[in-house]
Amino acid sequence: MKIVTTDRIVIVGAGLGALYAALELAPRPVVMISPETLGLGASSAWAQGGVAAAMDPADTAENHAHDTEVAGAGTVDPKIAAMVTHEARAHILDLTSLGAPFDRTEDGGYVLSREAAHSFARVVRVKGDQAGAAIMAALIERVRATPSIQVLEGTMAVDLDVENGRITGVAIQAADEARSAPVMLRGAAYLMAGGGSGGLFAVTTNPPRIRGQVIGMAARAGAVIADPEFVQFHPTAIDVGEDPAPLATEALRGEGAVLINKHGERFMLGLHKDAELAPRDVVARAVYTQSQAGMRPMLDTREVLGERIKTQFPTVAEACARNGIDPAKEPIPVAAAAHYHMGGIDTDIDGQSSLGNLWVCGEASSTGLHGANRLASNGLLEALVYGRVCARGMLKSLGETPESLEDPGETPEVTITFEQGGERPDARAVARLRQTMTGCVGVVRDAKGLKTALRAIAEIESAHPESRSFANMCATATLIAAGALLREESRGAHERSDFPDMAERGKRTKITLPEALALREKVIEELS
């Protein structure tokens, strides 16, 4: 394999955490690996709700941390929750100074929305449902203008090189249709910031490329993975047959929109004291149950928003319009869809993985903030906080300080020439994998379905061994199904119909890929 060496820090991914970290590292030279043009294909850009922060004078970071722990159903790390929520306000102010156009009140304050399981309105937003795209646009403008940041667009990471438990390189290849033979890129340090795994499921709100590749890549290199079974399903994906499914932001329910079935009945009223603003796992299961019963769940915004939905929530309105739905006059059909992965590459409080020289931020990580069920709009917040944490950790590891970086000198840009070769994942195999995950590892799980999934994943993987990218997908799928099989209880987003009760004590999962593969082989033997 061709080798290219650079003194730059290598960042895998181009979402919010990656961009924020790159800016925090400046003027330390970095190179970002981005499969798409910046701003396209990243989950951050698709985020509608906003960033959670205690900006209301009556609210506190302690309240925010408490809500995070309650939503996380007993597996949130209190130290991480306290740290992240205490830093939230500073990051909102920092984003504002960077040009993020947050919605403001007439007196200059921030417009705050309330979302599920929050005790206060504390979600800072942009034009109702455009926070992710607007924040990303502001950061991308800064990144483009920062000389120390090089972006390799149209490239994707497929493998990590590891020696004695330490990452020494990342294999990259062209991300276009032709693909290419991989090139080993060796840098000073490595940050994984390439998203979660929602696209491994057939019904998802995630961008098409977000299919667990970064988590799987690290797992194949030997990294410890935490809580892979905790996959959050968003209750109000717009059910119109699009892949990915467009999202009806939770902020709509914060404004008073209600969930009804085909008979016009509000089905959340008898299920939870907070009704439509119950924790996401509760609402997702209710929507799933209604769908399974043929009751056609829908989100009704007519009374509380009417025509205003078209100006206050333009992304939702546009998705409805292209599918012939007028949300001012008719309810929006919805379904539960794979949305956010609380699990991922295990990190310590400084964002470092179990592998040396490898840091992780954003949805690819499992910091302990989200527990079994992410509190709404804590995802972008975590990416911001840990983008900065990881940047500072890498500089410290490299023995560098802000003072030492005042005049870093010229660091040559990375020049990559790809040659023909490499294999694309087989589209039919990917489709079968996604159907397996939705059918057997979805909103409600049981041992029979999880064992069926593990056997199917093994069969699909063995039939298509050529693609490293597909191997990464299968690794993450295996970890999710294995973690779900091992957790014999129902907790947060993980619902086992054969173990409906929650264990007395919350316990996090820590697992390696060899351990998950050993369980997979055991299951196959049992089923044969």
CB 43 within 8 A of CB 196: yes
In the numeric block, the tokens 């977000």 are attached to: 210
**CA-based radius of gyration for the chain:** 22
Q: What is the rounded distance in angstroms from the CA atom of residue 58 to the CA atom of residue 55? A: 8
Edge-first strand order for the sheet with 332-341 is 231-238, 332-341, 298-300, 258-260
CA 471/CA 490 separation, integer angstroms: 29
Token look-up 């950790």 returns 393
- Region label for 178, one of left (φ > 0), alpha (ψ between -120 and 50) or beta (otherwise): alpha
Peptide bond between residue 500 and the one before it cis (omega within 30 degrees of 0): no
Q: Are 183 and 3 in contact (CB under 8 A)?
A: yes
* Distance separating alpha carbons of residues 362 and 192, to the nearest angstrom: 9
Of the residues 28, 122, 211, 280, which is catalytic? Answer: 280
CA distance 337 to 360: 25
Cross-strand bridge partners of residue 360: 192
- 381 close to 65: Cβ distance less than 8 angstroms: no
Most distant CA pair in the chain: distance in Å? 68
The one-letter amino acid code at 156 reads M
**C-beta of residue 375 within 8 angstroms of C-beta of residue 117:** yes
CA–CA gap between residue 479 and residue 461 (Å, rounded): 14
What is the distance, to the nearest Å, from the Cα of residue 150 to the centroid of all Cα atoms in its chain? 24
CB atoms within 10 A of CB 357: 19
Provide the residue count of the chain. Answer: 528
Is residue 280 flagged as an active site residue? yes
Do the Cβ atoms of 207 and 26 come closer than 8 Å?
A: no
Question: How many helices (H) and strands (E) are present in the chain, helices listed first?
Answer: 15, 20
149 φψ region: left (φ > 0), alpha (ψ -120 to 50), beta (else): beta
How many CB atoms within 10 Å of residue 424?
Answer: 15
Give the bridge partners for 124, in sequence order.
51, 112
- Give just the sign of the alpha carbon dihedral 388, 389, 395, 400: positive
- The residues near 293 (Cβ < 8 Å, ≥ 6 apart) are none
Q: Annotated catalytic sites, by residue? A: 280
